[in-house]
Structure 1
C-alpha cells in the first residue's frame, strides 16, 4: 500500500531520501502518474512538489479519493532543487519515487490459471513511448499483464512516463521468448484471419511484433492463431499502441453488457 514514509518530513530530509533511492526506485513523473500509482497500491516513500497548493487543488478536482494521502505525502521544495532532481519536470511540478513491484509477484500473476483477461506480449519492441502507451491501454482494459521480449526495459523511466503510472495496475515484466505465459497464443499478422471473425478467449496471449520488423520467426511459428486487423488497402500498418487498443477492444466487446430492457 502507499505510505508517507519519511517523505512527510522536512524538505531537506525528503531530498536526502530521494537521492538515496533514485538509483533503484521507479520515477513517477507528474501528478497523474502519482495519482494512478497510489490508486493501485504502489509504495511511495517520497514525493516532492514545488507547488503543493496547486497539486492539492488538482487532487480536489480530479482525484478526491487520494487527496488526503497526497496531502500527507507531498513535501514542498523550491523549484530549482526539484529540477536538479528531475531535469524533465512535469508541468504539474510533482514527482515521486515508488518501489518497483516484486518480480516474483508479477510472474505469479502472469502464470496464474485460469485467467480472466488476456496477457499482452510485445515481441522485441523498440519505441519506449509506444511501450508506455500499451501499458496504459492494457491497464485500462483490465489485462492481466504486459510482457516484453528483447532488450527494451518496460520499467524504463520513459516507458513509465508514457504509462502514466499505470504500471502498478497490471503485471509488467520482461521475459525470454521461451518463457511466455501459458495460454492460446494469438499473434497479430497481416496474413492472419480477420479478427472480426475470431473469438478471443479470456486466457489468450496476444502477441504484437515490433514497430520495425513485425513478429519474430520464433513467436510467429509458436502461434496457435494468426489474426489480422481490418485495414484499408495501401495502408501499410497501424501504430503499435493502436493495434493493441483495437485488439483489446475486440476482446472486451465479447463481454459487453446486455442492452437495457425498454
Structure 2
C-alpha cells in the first residue's frame, strides 16, 4: 500500500530526533540525503528510501503522488519550513530530506580491477575533510576507476557533506571504508596491484608511468601527505610537476589530474 503523508507538529517528534541522529552520524545503518538532486541520485542508484521529510512549501510544488512516483518511500512526513530547517545540514534547505539505508561497502564490492575502464583503485589515507573526500570520489567515478578505499582516520564517505560533494558518486562507486593502510596494501598485493603514491618526493611525473598496469593509487592528506614510514611500504612515487612558487594542489584537483591521465592512457590501448 502506498504511504500516506503524516503531519508532524512538534520539534520533539521521535522521527525528527531520528533524522538528526542520522544527520550527525549516530545511526550507522542509515544515511542522510538532502536536496532534490542528491535524493534523485539515490533513487537512480536503487538506494532504499525509508523516510522522506518534506516542508509544507515543498508540497506546493510536488504532490503526494509525485513523491511516491519519484521515490516510493516507506514513510512520508510533512513538517513546517522551520522544522525542516531544524533537521537540515545546510543553511538553505531545498525543502526535502530523506533517510535511506546505508549502501554496502567492503573489499567484495570492488570487482576485477584489470577490466575497469581505468584499472586503478584509489586509496585515501587519513583524509579528514569530508568535502574533499566527496570531490575525489566524484572524480574517481568520472575517471572510471574500479573502486575507492578510505583509511582509518578518514572522514565518513557517507556523511552529509561528503555525499553532497560527491553528487551521487558515493552511491554508485564501489567503496571500502575505515581500513588500515597495511590491510589495504596487503589486499592490493593479493590482487596483484602495483602501488603508487602521489607525493612531492616523487622522482617521476605522473605521466611517465604505465597506467595500463593495474594499480593502487595512494593519496595522503592535504595538510601532511603520507609520512615517510608509510611511503616506504609503497612501491613507487609520482609527482605532478608544477611552477616552483606553487606548493601543492587541492586534493581533488590532484586526484583528477592523475586519474584522467590514467584514463587517457587506457583509452588508446
1:11–1:218 Cα change, 3 Å: farther
* Unaligned ranges ≥5, structure 1: 57-65
Residue in 1 that maps onto 2:43: 38
Matched-pair contact (CA < 8 Å) for 2:85–2:92: no
For residues 185 and 109 of structure 1, the distance between their equivalents in structure 2, rounded to whole angstroms, comes to: 20
* Match among 95, 98, 102 for residue 104 of structure 2: 102
Q: What's 2:182 paired with?
A: 178
Aligned partner of 1:201 in structure 2 is 212
Q: CA deviation at 1:38?
A: 1.6
How many residue pairs get aligned? The number is: 241
Q: CA RMSD in A?
A: 2.9
TM-score for the superposition, normalised by structure 2: 0.77
CA displacement 1:119-142 (0-9 Å, x = unmatched):
111111132211111112222223
Task: Check whether the contact 1:120–1:147 (CA below 8 A) recurs between aligned residues.
Answer: yes
Contact 2:212/2:265 (<8 A) preserved = no
Q: Does the CA-based 8 Å contact 2:43-2:71 persist in structure 1? A: no
Tell me which of 6, 25, 30 is aligned to 1:11. 6
Give structure 2 stretches of 5+ with no counterpart.
none
Deviation at 1:196, TM superposition (A): 1.4
Aligned to 2:246: 235
Determine the C-alpha separation between the residues in 2 that align with 1:112 and 1:205: 13
The 3 A distance-change label for structure 1 pair 217 and 149 is farther
Within a 5 Å distance, the mapping from 1:74-153 to structure 2 comes to 76-86=78-88, 88=90, 90-103=92-105, 106-110=106-110, 112=112, 114=114, 116=116, 117-152=119-154, 153=156
Matched, 1:28 2:33: yes
Q: C-alpha separation between the residues in 1 aligned to 2:62 and 2:262?
A: 37
- The two structures have a TM-score, normalised by structure 1, of 0.79
